[in-house]
Structure 1
Amino acid sequence: EKKDVTQSLESYTAKCPGTMEFITLPDGLKLPPVPFTKLPIVRSVKLLNLPTSLRPHKMKSLLGQNVSTKSPFIYSPIIAHSRGEERNKKIDFQWVQGDVCEVQLMVYNPMPFELRVENMGLLTTGVEFESLPAALSLPAESGLYPVTLVGVPQTTGQITVNGYHTSVFGVFSDCLLDNLPGVKTNGCTVEVIPALPRLQISTSLPRSAHTLQPSSGDEISTNVSVQLYNGETQQLIIKLENIGTEPLEKLEVTAKTVNTKEKLYGDFLSWKLEDTLSQFPLKPGKIATFTVNIKVKLDFSCQENLLQDLSDDGISVSGLPLSSPFRQVVKPRVETKPINPQESSKVGDFSHVKTLEAILNFKYSGGPGHVEGYYRNLSLGLHVEVEPSVFFTRVSTLPATSTRQCHLLLDVFNSTEHELTISARNNEDLILHAGECQRMAIQVDKFSFESFPESPADGTQFANAKQLEEERQQAKGLEINSKLDICWKIISFHKYWEASVEGVLNQLVLEHLQLAPLQW
């Protein structure tokens, strides 16, 4: 019976469409329009926030972020009271002029047949709003079904979603939320701020299957990964494209290392923002390039688990005769990662790939939104797998002919599957085959270390004294390493990379490398 009625209604409206206009009878009586508020039935209306990468943020002022500029007083109970009343209706996020904004409706079809809803859109007031109507088909007695209606605010100010309009069986209906008491809503009024640019990033690296989860709760828009040897440096080329309608005028870049317990030596990520800012302001549709140097320098000292793996293979690396360095090739490191992650824990596998993760945050602004103090954030997740290259399995010293010099002895192990060379400043290249260990002797001038502060004599600040001593030892290691300038190169790659002794030098070696306070 319901099906017959709807078919008859469709045949009538095909000849004379049903509108929301009043009908005036000959006797002057006006018949109001009757909207189909239950075809479909709407249970809730929820205004949605913009995607994380497009959400506007307000720059903090000196007096605080939420200080009203409409009053000369920092605090006014009248303003606070009015805000309290407004909070019941106004939502705590903003929409942006010119961006597509969404409202989600939970609807269901009470009819025993499929319900086709055409030209379903939003009814709003307060801001010029371009509604983009949708068409949907709801199964018979569908149950609650999410429907997202979208539109674009064309001006700024307060916008209120008053309801929605539909076209069902040829009848056009304007359904106001005030006439639907059973509809749940999270608020119907939201602020529309001035337009901001939209930034899209692409990189020279492949996308990563590892998704970073920052502690701040922000989402990472893009995740990329790269595999490097310890000591290797690689450039990451990032293309910044303005896909919005406003010029991109301001850009700030920060980096944060996350989810790692590894000790890093030197700058992991570095860049020169001035080279990118010289291409600004970036007009809509234009692309700028941003170059990041990825430099991985972890501990080059031989780990206990690696020594154990080498011992399992019958190789001794604890000490080598200076006159006859041994050459024994161990099984090469597998270049590709195993499909089954459990395979990487097998006995004898000493690849020991370590992971570094960082988040690059791009804070940008421009256009009218920048004038009003708003900006956007975009984050790039970087996943770096660091493969071992060379290890210093043992370090010691020998006296030289001059008391102001000594020989630093390093037992170097090549853990790669490639033939490589390693050299220090003013030293000849030492060739190491895959899995080979040799000793290199470096003649160095002893160091005075006069510029480093001494540890406090009293024990009242034990924690500070211990921390100061660690900092002094790190500073000494950094100075020594900078003078050694140790580099290694995989012969087939024709690229020089660094190796660091900062994590290898113990207190005894540091004492031997220190210049005596008295000279005879």
Structure 2
Amino acid sequence: FNQARNQLLANSNNNNNSNAYNGDSGSPAVRPKKADMVINLNSETASIPDKTSASSNSSASSISSTFSSGSGGSTASGSSSSLTDSGTLVNKSASTAQKFPPNILQPEDIPARYREAIINYSKYRNAGIIETEAALKAARICIEQGKNLDVAMFLQNVLYINLNMSEQQRVRRFEVLTDLYQKIGYNRKAAFCQRLAAWRHVAVSNTNPDWGQSYRLMLESFSGHKLSLEPQEVLENNTGWPVLQIDLLQQLVGTARRLGQPALATRHMTFLLQTMWAQLNSHDQKEMALQLQNLASQCEGAPVPLVLENGTVIPPANLTDLPLCSQLLVKDLPSHMRPAKIAISKVDSGPFLFTPIHFNSVDRRTPKDDSKITFNWVQHDVCEVNVKLTNPLPFELQVTDIRLLTTGVVFEAFPQTVMLQPNVVTTVSLHGTPIEKGDLDIQGYSTHTLGIKSNCRLKQMLHRKRRNLPNHYQVNVIPALPKLELKTSLPQTATFSGMPNADCVTTSASITLYNGESGECVVTLTNTSNILIEYIDATFHSNMDSTLQNRIFQLATDEITSQLPIKPNESIDFKLIIYGEADFLGAITSSQPYVHSSHHDGTNSAGPQSLTVSHGGGAITVSNQSIPSRISSPTGTHRRNDPLTSSFRSSHSGHSSLATLSVGIATGHMPRQLEAQLRFRYSGGEGLQEGFCRQCAISFNVELLPSAQITNWDVLSAEIPSQFYLVLDVVNQTAQEMSLNYTSNKTILIEAKESCRVPVPVDRCPLERILAAMEQQQQSLNSIGADGYPSILSGVGVPSNSGDAADLTERVCSEHISENVNLKWALPGLDCSGVASLRGITLSPTMLDLVTVPPLQWEVKIDKQQVAPQSEVTCVTGQFITLSVGICNLSASVLHQVQLSVQFYQDFQNGHHNYRLETRVTMTGPNHILIPALNKDEKAFHECSVIFFTPGRFKADIQCRSLSSTTATTAASVDSAVVVSSSSAASSSSSSHVWRFIPPVEITVIDQ
């Protein structure tokens, strides 16, 4: 080898000298100068010293050849190029081509000469080492010249040279090849040579195998195989050759095991499954998973870095997709535990002005941030996250110690264990408790499966965007809130409420009541937390009208607030009254008529004060959804002509209440189911200071059964002018005997399913109450005109307001009756009692005349002696007596077309009145007079004489009738006048109001 090298150098020097001489003969004075191009070949030869120095990084020999020549001067352009000591070709002038003397090889000729030499050396059996040295030197020159393909050709030739070398020499040759391949960027070739070197370190023929060096070389070949020690980089780049990568990782696992490093073997096998899972078939996945389980049985894998002896850090590997996560859902707290903002009444800041201009507002087209959770968690409350996991392995996979991975505030995660069946989606609920308030980032979850502890972070999961998984979830944790437990004294229902927001119901209560019956419920509130409850707001919610709801559920919120605050683990009680509100007025829709009780005489005859009893009328549609309010304002056209509002006096029957007519339903005679929720908003502690509270509710199911039903009613005159009789037909709709108390000292028994008629004395409705209601209505509507009010008292007024005024009068009188009539019923057999309300009763115009206090003050005299109420006057037949009647207008308006009349009749006390007394009584003078107008506080008088021909008992019907006609006009307006109109203003026929002197004057006539 040395002889061949010296021969090569000698030939080179001879050529150099001859070229220099030929170049310098023309000018002997010029000294030969150093050649412009210097080639420094400092290479490591393929020869290896002794075995003891096999691991040395220096070469056994090096050759430095310097080719220099003298030139007749510089190049034509004066520029030069040189190769630096490191072998880099520097072009000092890119604009001018390099020129060399004839005795110097051109750069492109050098590889060609090496190629020729290598071909010549290959012809000799013992020249293999020289051939190898020449190929390596040629490769280095080509590297300096940037000819990568030529480098690859020379190095490939080295691989095919068969030399008898030791294993250490073979390893050294592969290392040199690796270094050269890396210089030209052939990383895959370099990695292949590194793996060849690693194999030679542990070859069977190697008497001293070095597993450490083999492991080192395999680890260094990662970059050539497009691998990285960081698993996430491999998953993100997704480049390289999977078959080569899998083979390298498997060899690395085996080498780590031969090194006696089970932790490294487990880590590399975990790395293989994490990064190459998608490249493995189902069989390989199963085999490698079982292999990993066996490795982990020797040394459990943990998600912590491993540091080698040489300082190399092996990053942690995690089984992020074993099991596979298809969804991670952050759950809100249960409805009764969710925090809500305490509503603050909004201050009116003026009208809303729309503008399309955005003033520092977030553009609505900005993509939504899916990682930000819209709801809040509460400090110290157990929170939940649902994870859908799938086992891709063909055998059962046990996953233990599943916990949430979080950052931000301190979070205590609870472990969970689950057994996953093959290829079955399983939902696992993970729980934990935030210890502090603030922002909590949910990064993912941790698992322990196949003996490996893994941190499965969302951002590291493969194809997470396809699974709609963000990088993390951010939840706001608010300060701790108290917890309230609800209990009632009533039995619970089988099912909870079906109303909206029923998910916040924590308990239920049911009660059965008869219509008009009241029940009591004791509600207990217990503070089960360690925080004071300083704020409680209790409200009822249902599908009913708010007025009706407040009548059924009577809650005193002051009783609750007076017991605040509620200390931890303490309770407070309060009472809730539940009333069986119903519509007690109206006809009963039944296939069989009720039996009329014999407690009251039901026979009637025709006459102005007869009480007609008839059960007619059609069926009324019933709705069980809600009970209408009875104090609803009548709307639409005037109802005085409606058959449902007619009195007993008319041919129609089966009245309905005002409330029934307002919505078209009657509910008192049908069983009903009512639902309502008593919702509590409560808070305390730091959560209250930040404006948060919790909500919980009690669901009430109230069943209302029919009790007493008033099917018909009428109004009759009483014995004294200040009262009237309200005659009612009451039906007992229960299956028990009913005791009905209709006055303070009168009670009647009604059998089951039977009816009874009772007269109830009631004080007349004062005129001042009607006038005050009308003034209030007019003021609220701001519709007081200069012409005054229409008058119900006169029946003549402003047509446009007459209907409204009549409805208002009827409603005021209806309220007056419902307030003064107290019908108490009781069922002795069931020990329950209640009240039947007359709220919403309808009254005809004739009834209103008897219900209201008349606007006239009467002064009746006989023979100039004033007649007292219920006094008896006696005279003899043929005696001439003088009857004087005076009236005074006490109303605030003018009465028009007032007719004052006197008529005698005989009352047979059986419902029949005899008005045909032409042969028994005669009167001198007119029996009636017409007063065109009677002003306020104005008086009018009428006097006549009467002679009785036969003895007997006679009564004088003294009455005033205010006629109304379409031709009548109103008087001058008075500012303080309150006018009440009559009914049926649109009718062409005249209508009137009648006021009688009550009781009628009774005269007893005896014989002389």
TM-score scaled by length of structure 2: 0.44
Can you give the 5+ residue segments of structure 2 that lack an aligned partner in the other structure? 1-282, 348-356, 605-667, 778-788, 791-797, 859-1008
Can you give the 5+ residue segments of structure 1 that lack an aligned partner in the other structure? 65-74, 325-349
Alignment of 1:136-155 (within 5 A): 136-142=418-424, 144-155=425-436
Q: 1:147 to 1:266 in 2, by over 3 A?
A: closer
The CA distance in 1 between the partners of 2:550 and 2:404, in whole Å, is 55
The CA distance in 2 between the partners of 1:151 and 1:316, in whole Å, is 71
- Give secondary structure in 2 for the equivalent of 1:396: strand
Which of 248-257 and 117-126 deviates more?
248-257
Partner of 1:242: 527
| CA offsets 1:46-81 (integer angstroms, 9 cap, x no match) | 2111111111112345679xxxxxxxxxx9966857
The CA distance in 1 between the partners of 2:317 and 2:577, in whole Å, is 66
* TM-aligned CA deviation for residue 208 of structure 1: 2.5
Q: 1:356 to 1:370 in 2, by over 3 A?
A: same
The CA distance in 2 between the partners of 1:471 and 1:11, in whole Å, is 93
* TM-aligned CA deviation for residue 129 of structure 1: 0.4
Judge conservation of contact 2:414–2:430 (CA < 8 Å) in 1: yes
| CA offsets 1:324-361 (integer angstroms, 9 cap, x no match) | 9xxxxxxxxxxxxxxxxxxxxxxxxx972023222212
Which of 188-197 and 15-24 deviates more?
15-24
Q: Which amino acid aligns with 1:107?
A: L
Partner of 1:39: 322
Q: 1:128 to 1:288 in 2, by over 3 A?
A: same
Moved over 6 A (4+): 81-86, 459-462
Partner of 2:512: 227
| CA offsets 1:281-330 (integer angstroms, 9 cap, x no match) | 1122222213211112211124341xx3332x7x469x973489xxxxxx
The CA distance in 2 between the partners of 1:224 and 1:265, in whole Å, is 17
| CA offsets 1:366-401 (integer angstroms, 9 cap, x no match) | 111001111111122222111000111221122122
1:279 aligns with 2:563: yes
The CA distance in 2 between the partners of 1:233 and 1:296, in whole Å, is 6
Q: Which amino acid aligns with 2:304?
A: E
Q: Which amino acid aligns with 1:141?
A: N
- Give secondary structure in 2 for the equivalent of 1:297: coil
The CA distance in 2 between the partners of 1:517 and 1:88, in whole Å, is 76
The CA distance in 2 between the partners of 1:235 and 1:203, in whole Å, is 10
1:477 aligns with 2:850: no
The CA distance in 2 between the partners of 1:47 and 1:514, in whole Å, is 69
Partner of 1:70: none
Partner of 2:856: 518
Q: 1:261 to 1:254 in 2, by over 3 A?
A: closer
The CA distance in 1 between the partners of 2:442 and 2:365, in whole Å, is 20
1:94 aligns with 2:379: no
Q: Which amino acid aligns with 1:484?
A: V
1:299 corresponds, among 579, 583, 587, to 583
Q: Which amino acid aligns with 1:164?
A: Y
Judge conservation of contact 1:265–1:298 (CA < 8 Å) in 2: no
Alignment of 1:63-462 (within 5 A): 80=362, 87-142=369-424, 144-180=425-461, 181-182=463-464, 183-185=467-469, 188-209=473-494, 211-215=496-500, 219-258=504-543, 260=544, 264=548, 267-305=551-589, 308-311=590-593, 315=595, 321-322=601-602, 352-452=670-770, 453-454=773-774, 457=790
The CA distance in 2 between the partners of 1:471 and 1:87, in whole Å, is 59
* TM-aligned CA deviation for residue 8 of structure 1: 5.0
The CA distance in 1 between the partners of 2:806 and 2:326, in whole Å, is 66
Partner of 1:344: none
Judge conservation of contact 1:44–1:185 (CA < 8 Å) in 2: yes
Q: 1:426 to 1:200 in 2, by over 3 A?
A: same
Judge conservation of contact 2:732–2:755 (CA < 8 Å) in 1: yes
The CA distance in 2 between the partners of 1:461 and 1:80, in whole Å, is 55
- Give secondary structure in 1 for the equivalent of 2:592: helix
- Give secondary structure in 2 for the equivalent of 1:17: coil
Q: Using CA pairs below 8 Å that are at least 6 residues apart, which structure has the higher relative contact order? A: 1
Partner of 1:29: 312
1:503 aligns with 2:503: no
Judge conservation of contact 2:379–2:479 (CA < 8 Å) in 1: yes
* TM-aligned CA deviation for residue 414 of structure 1: 0.9
* TM-aligned CA deviation for residue 261 of structure 1: 8.3
The CA distance in 1 between the partners of 2:727 and 2:482, in whole Å, is 57
TM-score scaled by length of structure 1: 0.82
Q: 1:61 to 1:257 in 2, by over 3 A?
A: closer
- Give secondary structure in 2 for the equivalent of 1:178: helix
* TM-aligned CA deviation for residue 264 of structure 1: 4.1
Q: 1:85 to 1:60 in 2, by over 3 A?
A: farther
The CA distance in 1 between the partners of 2:512 and 2:546, in whole Å, is 16
Structure number having the greater strand percentage:
1
Q: Which amino acid aligns with 1:129?
A: F
Q: 1:153 to 1:46 in 2, by over 3 A?
A: same
The CA distance in 1 between the partners of 2:546 and 2:596, in whole Å, is 26
The CA distance in 2 between the partners of 1:469 and 1:200, in whole Å, is 53
Identical aligned residues as a percent: 29
Q: Which amino acid aligns with 2:713?
A: V
Q: Which amino acid aligns with 2:485?
A: Q
Judge conservation of contact 1:237–1:292 (CA < 8 Å) in 2: yes
- Bigger radius of gyration among the two: 2
Q: What RMSD over aligned residues (CA atoms) do the two structures have, in Å?
A: 3.3
Q: 1:396 to 1:60 in 2, by over 3 A?
A: closer
Q: Which amino acid aligns with 2:601?
A: P
